[in-house]
Amino acid sequence: MEILTTIAQCRDHRLSDRAAGRRVALVPTMGFLHEGHLELVRRAREVADSVWVSIFVNPTQFGPHEDFESYPRELKKDAELLAHEGVDIVFAPTTEEIYPRDPIVQIGFSGLERKLCGTDRPTHFAGVGLVVSQLFNVIQPDRGIFGQKDAQQVLLIRRLANELHFPVEIIVVPTVRESDGLAMSSRNAYLTPQERTAASTIYATVCKARDAIEAGEVCGEAVRRILITGIRSEELLELQYAECVDVETLERTEMISGSVLLAVAVRVGKSRLIDNVTVTPSATAEGTT
Ligand code: PAF
């Protein structure tokens, strides 16, 4: 496994991959890797000859009072995990390499970036869109691998890749969970034992709402109430949003007739945690590709 830090090195390696006819899959990450990331890497291995992982804590996707400075960074340990998974290339650039000056290019998503997570993090998806475009442009992967836990991110990256004509196939991997259902996240590391116990209510609540739809509930507002009541039943969880929305437009669903996204975000102590499930009235489709 090689660790690259510059764009020039990436371009050289990419040329070698292309000359050798190797298909490249990229797993973009911000590091501090856990089992969820490793699942993405394993999926990448299934669909490509050369697996690249980027590790870059992207400043443009953090708001001014968010945890950019304190976001956990453990490159050495991450590199060991990735070497063990048989990753070919790690791209771990400095901030200056990606942003030699403050960027003036902005990626917008016509308001979709202001829904759900964008309500509390209004600039987040512009930053994600920018850095993912940069990574797609520098590495030119044949496949980009993302986790379903970040459902809104997946939706926006699909649109980005499609509308900017990046020749990349976006592959989505189901959310990896702890044994009590909590979605794996680097931010789980901030939780105290009590907060960690409380956090299991998040997925339990989403499942309750999903079960209601599968049992025949068609009123979006009723489903939303189940989500809100479930989250509020645990006093350590502070609700940020709980929504039952159309999977493409992210608009609130009034009458459920097709697939909906049940999505929640909560604050637990110092962490902000999100989770979601996609449901169709007759069948559950969590993490479809
Ligand atoms: O999902 C993440 O970890 C980040 O948003 C991503 C896609 C690596 C961009 O920084």
CA 183 to ligand 1 centroid distance, Å: 16
- Which of 39, 41, 54, 61 to mutate for ligand 1's pocket (most ligand atoms within 8 Å of CB)? 61
Find the domain containing 125 and state its range. 2-173
Active site residue 37: yes
Q: What is the pLDDT of residue 282?
A: 77
Neighbour-count burial for 43-55, b at 16+ CB within 10 Å, e otherwise: bbbeebebbbbbb
Domain tally, the chain = 2
- Give me the catalytic one of 37, 65, 124, 165: 37
Residue 259 lies in a domain: yes
Per-residue pLDDT reduced to its tens digit, 238-274: 999 999 999 999 999 999 999 999 999 999 999 999 9
**Same domain, residue pair 34 and 165:** yes
Residue 124 lies in a domain: yes
CA 7 to ligand 1 centroid distance, Å: 18
**pTM score of the predicted model:** 0.95
- For ligand 1, what atom is nearest to the CA of residue 157? 7
**Same domain, residue pair 30 and 149:** yes
| C-alpha closest to that of 220 among 193, 260, 253, 262 | 253
Residue spans of the chain under pLDDT 70: 283-289
**Cα–Cα dist 194/187, whole Å:** 15
**Same domain, residue pair 81 and 169:** yes
- Asked which of 130, 151, 173 is the last residue of a domain, the reply is 173
Q: What is the pLDDT of residue 286?
A: 54
Q: What is the pLDDT of residue 281?
A: 86
Using CB distances shorter than 6 Å, the residues near ligand 1 are 28-30, 58, 61, 128, 131-132, 150, 153
Q: What is the pLDDT of residue 255?
A: 97
